[in-house]
Structure 1
Amino acid sequence: MTPTTRPVPQSRHLATSIPGPKSQTLHSKRLQEVTGGFGVTLPVFIDRAEGGILADVDGNRLIDFASGIAVTSVGASNPHVQARVAEQLERFTHTCFMVTEYESFTEVATWLNEHTPGDFEKRTALFSTGSEAVENAVKISRAATGRDKVLVFDDAYHGRTMLTMAMTAKENPYKKSFGPFPSDVHRAPMAAPLRWATGAENATAEALAGVEQTLADHGAENFAAMVIEPIQGEGGLIVPATGFLTGLREIATRHGIVFVIDEIQAGMGRTGALFASEHEGVVGDLILTAKALVGGLPLSAVTGRAELMNAVHTGGLGGTYAGNPLACAAALGVFEAFADGSLLANARRIETTARAVLEPLLAGTAVVVDVRGRGAMLAVEFADQNTLEPLPEIAKAVAAACHEQGVLVLVCGTYGNVIRLLPPLVIGDELLADGLQVLAESILAADREPVAAVVV
């Protein structure tokens, strides 16, 4: 932080309506210049961000319960990240690691090899985006096994490229009008406790039986990779039923399938453990990271068993910007921020605080059917409590009310009926409590007032 830069007050403040007049003017310019294919959750233009606050061009200070979709877990202006990037910026911005090398790339790989789950020799490859990490994990799996097929799961989200759209479950907006998609991607049941037809207690056993059936239908010997999020993100922050991930691990091992854990959203401390798969004691053959790995710059990684990672021929992996030196510097700053363990403790504190506010709404409203998640990766699902018919109109109304009052939340879920909370792990207690109060009051108001139905 430079001497002339004043800290952003860590309190909610509304100087204007949301969005304010300056944001509205800038948004009008955006509509004239930027493709309509980009959506926007809240049309405010941010001037500064720090801690748990987004300060916009109109002087409003919004509570950040989104973290840029789980990216700025260490805060949007973390001093460790800033210092590392500033130092690297003075030296050089790019060489392409496949042309001439630089040490920070190897340092990031070393940290990931040492800190990801699994007591075996590892190698790491760095890329730029989460989708790239997913696609390269498939490439590595195919090279290592000589097989073609990929197994994914209901409610999965893995990216927006052609292959990752095929792997993603949700049609609108991610896949609508963009097909045809690559073949050899097959979908199996997800052990989602809330909506399992025969009851949550049967979800693990019956979903695993469905996985075995899917493999049998297409030939288990033809599958290169099984790819799963340990907590599903865009699908609705679904925590799989206990034992499902360990069962998948056993199935993958038995059939010689590379088990790929997509920690792109759930990893890097978001759930109160460094990696979400640690909660189940599950170790993947490959683990994917991005988002919070870098605190705001583009970087992703595939880390895994050395024999798998080295199965690809030399030159088969890479990319012009893969492991960009500025992004690698940022990642090293993120690692420093996590070193003392306080951020993991903060994630667990956030969960305790949030559940105390949100769980009473299960009995106190007619529209909240689930409060779930781990750490600072939490969700509230809205549906009819008797039929579980999704209520996306409630989620939309709650989000709009929060936004109007200066609290940024995100809507997600296969049915668009889930509010997800992804606050930065550095958010203060008072700010967190204020944002949760606004959210709870918005839910209670939506429960009392008739809301127009929306089409998802």
Structure 2
Amino acid sequence: MSQEHSPQTTNSEIEDQYEQYLMPIWKDLDVPIRRAEGCTVEDFDGNEYLDVFSGIAVTNAGHRNDAVVEAAKDQLDEFIHGCSYLHPHQPAAELAKRLAEITPGDLEKSFFANSGTEAVEGAIKLARKYTGSKEVIALEMSFHGRTLGSLALTGNKGYKNEMAPTINDVAHVAPPYAYRCQLCDGGPCSNDCGDRLEQVIQTHTAGDLAAVVVEPVMGEGGIIVPPEGWLERVQEITHDHGGLLIVDEVQAGYGRTGEMWASDHFDVVPDIMPQAKGIANGLPLGAFTARPEIADAFESGDHLSTFGGNPVACAAALETIEQLEAGLIDNARTQGEWLTSRLEELEADHEVIGDTRGLGLMQGIELIDAGGETGPMDVAPEPDAKLAKKVSHHLREEGIVIGVGGFHGNVLRFQPPLSISRDQLERTVDAIDDALSAKE
């Protein structure tokens, strides 16, 4: 990647402009990006970094993927804005047809939005219109967006402070968080957390269930993978009470887990499936897809989006899907299997690693205070968010950008472009190993 950069612009200038002219975005911004390619980003001072977070699981086909860029450029030469809900155009029509082909089961009709948050909110509106019911259940520790409606679903007070979500008919149920599960207490998984949904319906609702919303792998919650049978049981209970299962594939979809959809790992076909992030490899686009009889509950004007289905973003999405199916999903599966094994070895070598987990190239390392007291829910050691931040800073000094998250802020998150190589993954794991060894 070229090392050339504008001599009059520096990292400090960009950071100062963010401080002066942008509202506060994040408490710990990462490296300013001037240029990116593949799995590498470059800042304004000419430093290069290996990116194993891909803008929170967005550039699944790799930064500035040539084929995706060309598809977007070709559409720019035709027209930029057609408002797909006013003027029908080919990119939106072709993408909707393509989604009908690649989404699970009999999901067929899509609505295009600008983001994952909008996709989730649209899915809730559709579920309410189809069922005629209003109540929604989501998971504790979940994340579904930051607008007021989606924030009501998000099961984390840290995102809700001083906000007042507008969906009042929302209840929450315990997540399938095996490492800190009170129900199993370190023993074999009983799947009781799935059965808890029945209890929540009986005790926290008025019997007016429209939908249950779940992430098939919880990203912001800390890369939490549900146990075998959990998602199937949740769908069974949901349907028994007349609700729809909304599977939020915003972060876990588009090849991230080694399958096109994370729900492909389970014996479940969602009723409605929101998508975004990896859909157009960085261009703003979201969608939710449903079975025809559910989708047709929307009448003209029930839901609209001025920029949803933008032709340039749709053209990029079509090519992104081609790139994923041409080998990137296979690479995510292959590299993910290696990474799972390697992280298990790392866990055995370091007592400060409480758990490693994930699917494909969506994996997490949960860091703990191994010598401290029992932590949240009294079933596992205290989370060590400070150590997670220290490790991420160490990696940045080594030229690697990694995510840090989880409900307790103590999980290192591997969510790289799906084009990442074994050598690049090894470099990252070795750097984590060095950072933890130095700490111990």
TM bin (shorter chain): over 0.9
Specify which of 79, 86, 97 is matched with residue 92 of structure 1.
Answer: 79
| Match status 1:139 vs 2:139 | no
1:191 aligned residue: 176
Aligned partners of 1:266 and 1:276 also within 8 Å: yes
Q: 1:365 aligns with which of 350, 353, 357?
A: 350
Name the counterpart of 2:52.
65
Q: Which residue of 2 aligns with 1:12?
A: none
Secondary structure of 2:136's counterpart equals strand
- % same residue: 36
Match of 1:215 among 201, 221, 243: 201
Q: Distance in 2 between matches of 1:133 and 1:121?
A: 15
- Does 2:12 match 1:24? yes
Distance 2:437 2:215 in 1: 31
Whether the 8 Å CA contact 2:135–2:211 is kept in 1: the answer is: yes
1:243-297 Cα shifts (integer Å, max 9, x gaps): 1101011112212211000000000000001100111121111111100011000
Cα distance in 2 for partners of 1:74, 1:414 equals 28
The 2-side partners of 1:157 and 1:225 are apart by: 16
Structure 1: how far apart are the matches of 2:250 and 2:63?
A: 18
Deviation at 1:122, TM superposition (A): 2.0
Q: What is the SS of the residue equivalent to 2:293?
A: helix
Q: What residue number does 2:167 align with?
A: 182
Q: 1:51 aligns with which of 17, 31, 38?
A: 38
Partner of 2:377: none
Deviations 1:331-350 (A, max 9, x none): 0110110232x111211222
Equivalent of 1:420, from 393, 403, 413? 413
Cα distance in 1 for residues equivalent to 2:133 and 2:188? 32
Q: Which residue in the other structure is 1:247 paired with?
A: 233
Counterpart for residue 364 of structure 2: 379
Distance 2:34 2:160 in 1: 33
Please give the TM-score of this superposition, normalised by the length of structure 1: 0.90
Instruction: Note the residue ranges of structure 1 that are not aligned, 5 or more in a row.
Output: 1-6, 10-14, 16-20, 449-456
Distance 2:50 2:29 in 1: 13
Give the equivalent residue in structure 1 for 2:211.
Answer: 225
CA RMSD of aligned residues (A): 1.8
Matches of 2:186 and 2:227, distance apart in 1: 7
Q: How many residues align?
A: 427
336, 347, 350: which one pairs with 2:335?
350
| Equivalent residue, structure 1, for 2:378 | none
Partner Cα separation in structure 1 for residue 17 and residue 218 of structure 2: 35
Matches of 2:206 and 2:268, distance apart in 1: 21
Unaligned runs of 5+ in 2: 375-380
| CA deviation after TM superposition for structure 1 residue 169, in Å | 1.3
8 Å contact kept, 1:370–1:382: yes
1:259 is the counterpart of 2:264? no
Answer whether contact 1:23 1:43 (CA < 8 A) is retained. Answer: no
Structure-2 residue corresponding to 1:4: none
Identify which range, 128-137 or 46-55, moves more after superposition: 46-55
Contact kept, 8 Å, 1:42 with 1:403, in 2: the verdict is no
Match of 1:166 among 148, 152, 156: 152
Q: Check the 8 A contact 2:151/2:165 in 1, yes or no.
A: no
C-alpha spacing 1:85/1:100, structure 2 compared with 1 (3 Å)? same
- Please give the per-residue CA displacement for 1:55-104, whole angstroms capped at 9, x wherever unaligned: 11111110001111000010111112111100000111102112211011
Matching residue of 2:112: 126
Moved more, 414-423 or 204-213: 204-213
Q: Which residue does 1:405 correspond to in 2?
A: 398
CA distance in 2, matches of 1:294, 1:177: 33
1:238 aligns with 2:224: yes
- Larger mean Cα displacement after TM superposition, 82-91 or 211-220: 211-220
Contact 1:226 1:252 in 2 (8 A): yes
Q: Does the 8 Å CA contact 2:171/2:205 hold for their aligned counterparts?
A: no
Cα separation, 2, equivalents of 1:34 and 1:70: 23
Change (3 A) 1:263 1:8: farther
The amino acid that maps onto 2:231 is L
Letter aligned with residue 426 of structure 1: S
Displacement of 1:304: 1.1
1:387-410 CA-partner distances (Å, limit 9, x unpaired): 321111111111111112111011
Shift of 1:227: 0.4
Asked if the contact 1:96/1:320 (under 8 Å) is kept, the reply is yes
- The change in CA–CA distance for 1:75 and 1:180 in structure 2 (over 3 A counts) is closer
Distance in 1 separating the partners of 2:325 and 2:261:
14
Q: Which amino acid aligns with 1:315?
A: G
Match of residue 335 from structure 1: 321
Asked if residue 282 in structure 1 is aligned to residue 268 in structure 2, the reply is yes
Distance of 1:166 and 1:257 partners within structure 2: 18
Letter in 1 for 2:93: T
Counterpart CA distance in 2 for 1:356 and 1:257 is: 38
From 277, 280, 305, the counterpart of 1:291: 277
Letter in 2 for 1:307: E
Secondary structure, counterpart of 1:221 in structure 2: coil
Normalised by the size of structure 2, how large is the TM-score?
0.93
Aligned to 1:116: 103
CA contact (8 A) 2:392 2:404 kept: yes
CA distance in 1, matches of 2:370, 2:267: 33
- Farther off after superposition, 437-446 or 146-155: 437-446
The partner residue of 2:21 within 33, 54, 63 is 33
